[in-house]
Structure 1
């Protein structure tokens, strides 16, 4: 049985504090991308009734909560991350009544619901932005956004040299908009900032009206019963005073271009991300959220290094922040051990949970990403894979993905799953150009493939149209012709399937309370090719669990005195093969 450990004991990575029992500290949270989860009305676009109809799948899977990507009113130029009305549901997805029904069904099944919030920018179809265009320069309406005068003769040059994360300039001149009426805007020399698409104008978070509006939006959804918010681009919103030029470029999902050269005049972090002022906003939001019981804030913050990310989860700010350092770590034992250890070090110092994630709607699915021997500049977590790119080894990718997931779920803290990963879905790498919708693909002229490949509707039933995604067979993105083997009904009850592996792992994780365990290195497995960690009950009442991943070229013997509970792949007698993770119970 376990022996309680002190934080200073040799080899201890994380010590669980007994008072840290809130649900969000160890929850497994399942991300739903509403467009692609389930289509209830047959139009080829997923919707809220479709989600409600498939919710028992999630309860059977064993997750604790759902996170839904945006379902608000939107022209869908960036798949809903261009919000036109934060207090209503886009008709493509249903209605507020459908949202209430979904929340009620989740509550019946014991599932929490987290919704997306997009505070850095709105859609250009938001009422505020339409009012700003009509009101003209110098108006209070324009003060809600980042309007500025241009540089150069007649203001014909952008206010600074910033580039959009999606490619191209980060400024749009009002008079050059396609909808600009010639007479009304002919003398309007202003530009507005759009760090993403030109249809996504950045809000001015120095404006008290903007801050008050979003606090009211928080209360609107909290009053309807949501359990928290995932905050999109949580490291954005505040821009450096004076909007200084910056010669670097940010990759599609937030990583600074590796070629960026840091200097006093040109810092590595751009002057529009991870500014200190964002923390004042989140302290204010935390006060709003804390007036409701057990509600949370989750930061999507692509911030490096990890100690700066930990600032977002200080006791009066966010409850969680996505650990993208873990997601982007190559399939290498030493690097995985290092990022796990540092993640606990910085988060434990703030008494915050460490949050683990391997896939989401912005990155290449890890069943494909790990199908390469190393992450390259061309094919990495932040870039898509197209038909002309090197293709991943599907068998290797799935084997490693299963091992990586079992390693992740064996770690104390909260874990996020992306829809379809429980089916072992790979990236759709063969999508033709004409069906792609990601603005990144359009704004870079196809030089960056974008994120459509991880957003393809998921397969439910092998023998039905659109694999059961839609009753009519319609699908807003085409599904691969060979996905029948991945369908949920083809895997349910089949021993060794990826779906059954996830179900077993989540059940054992809950039974053994791995999410609230203390964690230490295994003293006898210090191989450079093995990650070997021991999960211990802080109270010393449950048997230890070994979490062991072999990333080396040769099988590694399971230590004596351990009995296997879960394995990501077949073992070779008492040996753990390459790219396999096991959980084992101490018996000796």
Structure 2
């Protein structure tokens, strides 16, 4: 048995992106792509003001190409008052000065395409900022006006309209309704600064067609659609109280009861319209749904052939580190998505969830959106968490379909738990009076150079969220080319994934014990040991091991790839 070379060159051989290319059905790039999420605020800051920016992204793209990814996805960089870190959009076709200019975006796009990386951007259609001109005009207009009809305004209940129109709660905590001076109420499923648009209004639909065209004409390769299971609400806006253990975005609800503000059938008409629009453009432009919908058989409706191309597999993200649970969710995922001709889109971390290097070592329940702070029960074991995270990533990247990586996970970054209270910025923290920590812990600016100010995030040492001192050892320059580092593991895994065609492969299950996830994908056998006892390693050439050196066994919390004899 031999260990494969630790780092394989991933950037060589790449070609620039040409939108004139047309793929044959079934071979589109997005079916097998590994897509890297950039959270612009926290990726790289060239101006030194403590907030990441578009020029900073451009300056660091070579490192992402060397990692071996296929595309980048940028969280919002639009004009915004930043009440929710840019997900409160005040201008859908403007770049916020915090992040640069439209020329900076064009330069970033061009450099990405030169490196062979496609560019996906966020679109936030469920709600706008309350500072958007559309909403300001609605506030200035009378009840019943065309301007008010852009958003969901309603009269209140009670003898004088003093009660909210229904009992809905905001995702961030507190009521989902705010009353304005003339007595009407407006709906905001998120913060009060994020009023929900009324997607029953044809005017709203036409505005977003124009927005999509603006960015497609500018050369973007697709959109990640925020809150893709929202937008349409049930007729009459009936009262609804979700199960106590459900996630803030609807995850964990597997009953036949559908919340009246999530996963309504009317959203599919919107995405069929958008798919038709994207089909007018060359280059296999893509739509990816952020849809917290269960069960997976229901989520598959978002990726039918005439709707979206991808949907994040949050059921997989929320699966515990258990062989039985992992086998079940992989089987269900492949069956559900292949049944509509779509790939499964695997994911373990993003800007809304506890990083999986911590989440997989929690010992208490932690619903999505709650976050982890110093007083949270079930604090993670950092050593165990990183070990499991590496194993979980090695398992995920061996599965057929597409996969998403969140910035910093290739460095093994854990959740930042001990943020000072006065540094927190997530609306969840404020709207729950500190009962929920929210998402700041997964959004701390990432480290590039261990000995530099702000660990290379910028040259000034400023950082919009404080970075922990121990992140010096996680910095990219401390890991690049280092055998056994998490960065080297990711680089090798992505290279091997491409070499052996895992994305277009198929699963053939193997039985190596109740605590083991084992399968063949083409020529490669994948073994993930989720138990506490070592498992005998079959004969073959070891290509990748996520944990400690092998001696004929797969250790606990370890994944191995090997070529079978």
| Match among 337, 340, 343 for residue 333 of structure 2 | 343
Equivalent of residue 56 in structure 2, options 47, 50, 54: 50
1:7-86 aligned at under 5 Å gives the runs 20-86=26-92
What is the alpha-carbon distance in structure 2 between the residues aligned to residue 35 and residue 198 of structure 1? 22
Aligned residue in 2 for 1:367: 357
Residues 209-253 of structure 1, C-alpha deviations (whole Å, 9 max, x = no match): 000000110000000000000000000000000111112268564
Contact 1:248–1:257 (8 Å) recurs in 2: no
1:132 alignment partner in structure 2: 138
Question: What are the Cα deviations for residues 128-186 of structure 1, in whole angstroms up to 9, with x where unaligned?
Answer: 000000012111100000000111121101111111111111000012xxxxxxxxxxx
1:333 equivalent to 2:329? Answer no
Q: CA deviation at 1:269?
A: 2.2
1:295 aligns with 285
Task: Give the 3-state SS of the residue equivalent to 1:30 in structure 2.
Answer: strand
Which residue of 505, 516, 532 corresponds with 2:518?
A: 532
Residue 452 of structure 2 corresponds to 464
TM-score by length of 2: 0.94
Aligned positions of 1:225-264 closer than 5 A: 225-248=219-242, 253-255=248-250
- Which runs of at least 4 in structure 1 moved beyond 6 Å after TM superposition? none
> Please, which of 294, 304, 307 is the counterpart of residue 297 of structure 2?
307
Maintained 8 Å contact 2:30/2:402: yes
| Alignment RMSD (CA, Å) | 1.4
Match of residue 373, structure 2, among 386, 391, 414? 386
Paired residues of 1:422 and 1:502 also in contact (CA < 8 A): yes
Choose the corresponding residue for 1:570, options 539, 548, 552.
548
TM-score of the aligned structures, taking structure 1 as reference length: 0.90
Decide which of 491, 505, 508 is 1:520's aligned counterpart.
Answer: 508
Q: In 1, Cα distance between the equivalents of 2:548 and 2:268?
A: 47
CA offsets, 1:363-405, max 9 Å, x none? 00000011235xx32x355421111224211000000000000
Query: Which position in structure 2 is the counterpart of 1:154?
Result: 160
CA distance in 1, matches of 2:550, 2:275: 51
Show CA shifts across 1:336-378 (max 9, x none): 00000000001111010011000000000000011235xx32x
Size of the alignment, in residue pairs?
A: 539
Shift in CA distance, 49/253, structure 1 to aligned 2, threshold 3 Å: farther
- CA contact under 8 A between 1:163 and 1:249: conserved in structure 2? no
Distance 1:327 1:147 in 2: 35
SS in 2 for 1:155: coil
- 8 Å contact 1:61–1:503 — kept in the other structure? yes
Given the alignment, which residue of 494, 497, 513 partners 1:509?
497
Distance in 1, Cα, partners of 2:218 & 2:554: 49
CA shift, 1:526, in A, is: 4.0
**2-structure distance, mates of 1:86, 1:475:** 26
Q: Distance in 2 between matches of 1:501 and 1:199?
A: 42
Distance (Å, rounded) in 1 between the aligned partners of 2:263 and 2:385: 33
Aligned pair partner of 1:421 in 409, 423, 434: 409
Alignment of 1:286 onto 2:282: no
**Which sections of structure 1, spanning at least 5 residues, go unmatched?**
1-17, 176-187, 537-543
Deviation, 1:304, is 0.6
Structure 2 unaligned spans of 5+: 1-23
User: 1:256 touches 1:269 (CA, 8 Å); kept in 2?
Assistant: no
Q: Does 1:549 align with 2:537?
A: no
- Distance in 2, matches of 1:456 and 1:268, equals 37
What is the alpha-carbon distance in structure 2 between the residues aligned to residue 296 and residue 574 of structure 1? Answer: 44
Aligned to 1:324: 314
Contact 1:253 1:362 in 2 (8 A): no
